[in-house]
Chains A and B, each alone.
Chain A
Amino acid sequence: MFNLRPLFALLSILTVSSVGAQALKPYQPVTGERLLEQDSDSWLLYRGSYDSHGYSPLDQIDRETVADLEPVWSFSTGLREGHQAPPIVNAGYMYVATPQNHVLALNAATGELLWRYVRYLPDDLQQFHPTNRGVALWGERAYLATVDSYLVALDAVTGEVDWEVAVEDYYSGYYMTMAPLIVDGVVMVGVSGGELGIRGFVAAYDAETGAELWKTYTIPAPGEPGSESWPGDSWKTGGVPVWITGSYDPELNLTYWGTGNGGPWMGDTRPGDNLYSTSVIAIDPSTGELKNHHQYHWNDSWDWDEVAAPLLIDYEREGQRVKGLVHAGRNGYLWFLERGAEAIDFVDATPYVYQDVFTSVDSVTGRPEYDMSKKPGTGYEASFCPSLWGGKDWPPASFDPASRLLFIPANENVCSTMVGEEVEYSPGRAYMGRGTSENGGFYVRDGADHIGELQAWNVDTGERAWTTTFDSHNWGPTLATGGDLVFMGGTNDRKFRAFDSASGETLWEYPTNSGVIGVPVTFTVEGKQYVAVQAGWGVDAQREQNLINMSQGTNTYVPQGGVVWVFALP
């Protein structure tokens, strides 16, 4: 083991000399009101607001001025793998979470380091997804969900650990990559580990003390509603992780979470609908009660996690305003639902990429029927589109309430081949039961002229407005702004781009150090607008590139290494 302390001593000394020269104002505690208000000088939540719109009304950078956008500072994280977290900004203070669970606190205007938290991870840890998707702020603390399954509360001013609690045992396959969701001093996290035979849950902790408040499983135990959809003991190890931050509706006082697929991956190992897998679930943050749900598709066999949280969008249908949930599914369908206190109702669903599995979707319930020849099973190999990463994986869509457009970072023309094999459960060991298929079980459709897409859909008409295509696959989270722009990276050419939200035309692009799979944000400092994002290719984007190289005979190389980039007008 190497000793990091001298380095940190040096860093803190360097920090001292610069702090004196900064006009960094005293830290502003984060309150429930501030989380609802979305102050322009801050980006306090994973998607900027509880409705998960990923939208800011800021408009200094617009379709005219964006051509002049330039980097104002950057900061190297010194780490490899997936840099996916949004820089969370609170009135001048920026918090950046990285893979391997570091947190950097930076001066948002200058990039100067205020402190750095480094977690010593256990050496027997396995990381299916070496990434982290951000911190959450409350009061004077920053909260981090770690890959060794701890929830850590850091003093936002000093970086000191105020408390940490074990959420679950990492050795049994539980890990966390999401940004926590905080409502009224209740810190909620979900767990990853669907590949490792976990039983998924969302748990809540007191922001002040770290005391556990509730824990709600995504798989019912015998006797609970929905338990009849799991045979035998399969509920104990059935997966259904929750690894993306939920949305929150303050009026209904309900949080909405997307859930992952069941495990092992082959549906024939767990005959039944497997509630509440591949669903949206509504949980009361005060009590943890699971109030209602909608299952997008039953008995998954495609690894189509539906973990991305739905956007809370009120849209028009037949002259009526629907209080809605909108979700671009990994299963390739764009789902429009209605949210209420008692139920989540199906409204309509349309494929937004080529999908060859569903033969129909019931017009009342939304339940799909399958072409069973496209459903892999134990000892039965099947090919299906979209690929196991779906039409869209976790990278969040965004919504511009002015233009009524929803922006979806999609992948078209990529498909998977999968075959199941028998697998024994052993704590902490892979429990996917996926056999080996040619080319890693991945292929590009014949005649495909592109893979990546940015799509825009009008939520009121339910129709697609435009599509911009990329040769590369696309793993870019999106940001929409009042400047009629959409920001997104995601391609293998290292570029971070701004698109005209009305047409999809690329108005600006900048080649960064690595591929950009981080969530972009925008904020102001002293009235000036900035856009910030992490570059740092890795995880599934890199894995898909390997498979594209294998299947297409290409040799595309995307450099790794995390850098925080901040852009502004001159």
Chain B
Amino acid sequence: MTNRTTLDRRALLKAGLGVGIAIPTKSWAQPPNRARPQPGDWLVFDGGENSGQRITPDLLALEQRPVAALAKDPATSTLRDGSRLNRVMITRLDPTKLSEATKPHAAAGVIAFSAVCTHTGCDVINWVEDKLLMACPCHESHFDVYNGANVVGGPAPRPLAILPLSLESGSVVVAAGFTGRVGFTQQF
């Protein structure tokens, strides 16, 4: 037991305001490298021996393990590396085998999926080679690349968003913003 001097205040809080909620206090203007990929952005490799280089279809082997890529604003040379939600995984697929819904978003078979798992947000960096599935290292969600990254295993609740692509003078550019929400959705 205790002698409390603050009991009245607490009684008052309990009576009406007794729910603590974290209120984000920081706010800032979004720097351009945090903005999501924009139509017309170039796509460049993110890591590996070609890091920073513009992506052309011939630099990707057919059905190769997806590699990380980022968008780059050609006007300002801004690499959009300010948010991990901007990162995509890119590979080249056989256009004749792509599902009807997926086809319009690929350019010469090159397709880009959000790198961020829809389960709890890990980077989907693994690859099940014999089944052509992207795999999340965190809790083994599997995504079917020929079918719009539909979930074929694990706890992810929805497919990875696609970043639609097109070709401009033989190089891959962003055709439109992500097809869906990127990353996981906070519950409750």
Cβ of B139 and Cβ of A542 under 8 Å apart?
yes
The minimal Cβ–Cβ distance linking A99 to chain B, given in whole angstroms, is: 8
Residues on B with C-beta less than 8 A from A528 are: none
Residue among B1, B23, B47, B155 making CB contact with A426, cutoff 8 Å: B47
Residues on B with C-beta less than 8 A from A68 are: none
Residues on A with C-beta less than 8 A from B137 are: 195, 430, 432, 434
Instruction: Tell me, in angstroms, the Cα distance from A383 to B136 when the chains sit together.
Output: 21
> Contact mask B1-19 → A, CB, 8 Å, 1/0?
1101001001001111111
Cβ of B20 and Cβ of A160 under 8 Å apart?
yes
Instruction: Tell me, in angstroms, the Cα distance from A29 to B5 when the chains sit together.
Output: 13
| Known A127-B122, A130-B120: A158·B22 in contact at CB below 8 Å | no
Cβ of A424 and Cβ of B19 under 8 Å apart?
no
Cβ of A159 and Cβ of B20 under 8 Å apart?
yes
Residue among A121, A434, A436, A538 making CB contact with B128, cutoff 8 Å: A436
> Contact mask A217-252 → B, CB, 8 Å, 1/0?
000000000000000000000000000000000000
Residue among A81, A157, A440 making CB contact with B10, cutoff 8 Å: A157
Instruction: Tell me, in angstroms, the Cα distance from A542 to B141 when the chains sit together.
Output: 11
The minimal Cβ–Cβ distance linking A122 to chain B, given in whole angstroms, is: 9
Residue among B125, B140, B183 making CB contact with A124, cutoff 8 Å: B183
| Known A11-B19, A12-B19, A29-B2: A436·B126 in contact at CB below 8 Å | yes
Residues on B with C-beta less than 8 A from A115 are: 18-20
Residues on A with C-beta less than 8 A from B14 are: 15-16, 19, 114, 157-158
B96 within 8 A of A: no
Instruction: Tell me, in angstroms, the Cα distance from A160 to B117 when the chains sit together.
Output: 33
Instruction: Tell me, in angstroms, the Cα distance from A128 to B83 when the chains sit together.
Output: 18
> Contact mask A539-570 → B, CB, 8 Å, 1/0?
10011001100100000000000000000000
Residues on B with C-beta less than 8 A from A159 are: 18-20
Instruction: Tell me, in angstroms, the Cα distance from A29 to B10 when the chains sit together.
Output: 14
The minimal Cβ–Cβ distance linking B1 to chain A, given in whole angstroms, is: 7
Main SS at interface, chain B: loop
Interface size class of B (residues with CB under 8 A): 35 or more
Cβ of B17 and Cβ of A546 under 8 Å apart?
no
The minimal Cβ–Cβ distance linking A124 to chain B, given in whole angstroms, is: 5
Interface residues of A in 488-516 (CB under 8 A from B): none
Instruction: Tell me, in angstroms, the Cα distance from A155 to B125 when the chains sit together.
Output: 41
Cβ of A4 and Cβ of B21 under 8 Å apart?
yes
B27 within 8 A of A: no
Residues on A with C-beta less than 8 A from B19 are: 8, 11-12, 115-117, 159
Cβ of B13 and Cβ of A158 under 8 Å apart?
yes
B62 within 8 A of A: no
The minimal Cβ–Cβ distance linking B178 to chain A, given in whole angstroms, is: 13
Instruction: Tell me, in angstroms, the Cα distance from A79 to B188 when the chains sit together.
Output: 7
Instruction: Tell me, in angstroms, the Cα distance from A154 to B19 when the chains sit together.
Output: 11
Instruction: Tell me, in angstroms, the Cα distance from A542 to B48 when the chains sit together.
Output: 33
When C-beta atoms are compared, the residue in chain A nearest to B153 turns out to be A546
> Contact mask B128-147 → A, CB, 8 Å, 1/0?
11000001011110000000
> Contact mask A24-54 → B, CB, 8 Å, 1/0?
0111110000000000000000000000000
Cβ of B18 and Cβ of A15 under 8 Å apart?
yes
When C-beta atoms are compared, the residue in chain A nearest to B117 turns out to be A126
Residue among B21, B48, B125, B126 making CB contact with A117, cutoff 8 Å: B21
When C-beta atoms are compared, the residue in chain B nearest to A24 turns out to be B14
Cβ of A543 and Cβ of B122 under 8 Å apart?
no
A100 within 8 A of B: yes
Interface residues of B in 43-76 (CB under 8 A from A): 47-48
Residue among B7, B116, B139 making CB contact with A26, cutoff 8 Å: B7
Cβ of A429 and Cβ of B123 under 8 Å apart?
yes
A341 within 8 A of B: no
Instruction: Tell me, in angstroms, the Cα distance from A124 to B13 when the chains sit together.
Output: 33
A119 within 8 A of B: yes
When C-beta atoms are compared, the residue in chain A nearest to B34 turns out to be A124
Instruction: Tell me, in angstroms, the Cα distance from A158 to B17 when the chains sit together.
Output: 8
A102 within 8 A of B: yes
Instruction: Tell me, in angstroms, the Cα distance from A233 to B1 when the chains sit together.
Output: 54
Residues on B with C-beta less than 8 A from A29 are: 2
Residues on B with C-beta less than 8 A from A424 are: 47-48
Cβ of A123 and Cβ of B20 under 8 Å apart?
no
Interface residues of A in 140-174 (CB under 8 A from B): 152, 154-155, 157-161, 164, 171
Cβ of B125 and Cβ of A430 under 8 Å apart?
yes
Residue among B24, B138, B140, B155 making CB contact with A120, cutoff 8 Å: B24
The minimal Cβ–Cβ distance linking B51 to chain A, given in whole angstroms, is: 9
A67 within 8 A of B: no
Instruction: Tell me, in angstroms, the Cα distance from A152 to B22 when the chains sit together.
Output: 10
Cβ of A123 and Cβ of B186 under 8 Å apart?
yes
Cβ of A12 and Cβ of B18 under 8 Å apart?
yes
Residues on B with C-beta less than 8 A from A26 are: 1-2, 4, 7
B30 within 8 A of A: no
The minimal Cβ–Cβ distance linking B163 to chain A, given in whole angstroms, is: 16
Residue among B1, B123, B126 making CB contact with A126, cutoff 8 Å: B123
A210 within 8 A of B: no
Residues on B with C-beta less than 8 A from A538 are: 155
A428 within 8 A of B: yes
B177 within 8 A of A: no
Residues on A with C-beta less than 8 A from B153 are: 546, 550
A372 within 8 A of B: no
A367 within 8 A of B: no
B121 within 8 A of A: yes
Residues on B with C-beta less than 8 A from A440 are: 140
Cβ of B122 and Cβ of A430 under 8 Å apart?
yes
B187 within 8 A of A: yes
Cβ of B140 and Cβ of A543 under 8 Å apart?
yes
The minimal Cβ–Cβ distance linking B108 to chain A, given in whole angstroms, is: 27
Residues on B with C-beta less than 8 A from A127 are: 120-122, 138, 184
A404 within 8 A of B: no
Residue among A121, A154, A432, A436 making CB contact with B20, cutoff 8 Å: A154
When C-beta atoms are compared, the residue in chain A nearest to B115 turns out to be A429
> Contact mask A397-428 → B, CB, 8 Å, 1/0?
00000000000000000000000000010101
Instruction: Tell me, in angstroms, the Cα distance from A314 to B47 when the chains sit together.
Output: 53
Cβ of A161 and Cβ of B187 under 8 Å apart?
no
B32 within 8 A of A: no
A78 within 8 A of B: yes
Cβ of A546 and Cβ of B139 under 8 Å apart?
yes
Instruction: Tell me, in angstroms, the Cα distance from A546 to B186 when the chains sit together.
Output: 23
When C-beta atoms are compared, the residue in chain A nearest to B126 turns out to be A436
Knowing that A79-B188, A81-B120, A158-B10 touch, tell me 17 more A-B residue pairs with CB under 8 angstroms. Answer: A12-B17, A16-B15, A102-B188, A115-B19, A124-B83, A124-B84, A124-B116, A126-B120, A127-B120, A127-B121, A157-B14, A159-B19, A159-B20, A160-B20, A164-B22, A426-B47, A430-B122
Q: List 6 A-B contacts (CB under 8 A).
A: A19-B15, A28-B2, A78-B188, A116-B20, A158-B10, A436-B128
Closest 10 A-B residue pairs measured CB to CB?
A159-B20, A127-B120, A126-B121, A158-B13, A117-B20, A8-B19, A115-B18, A130-B120, A126-B122, A119-B22
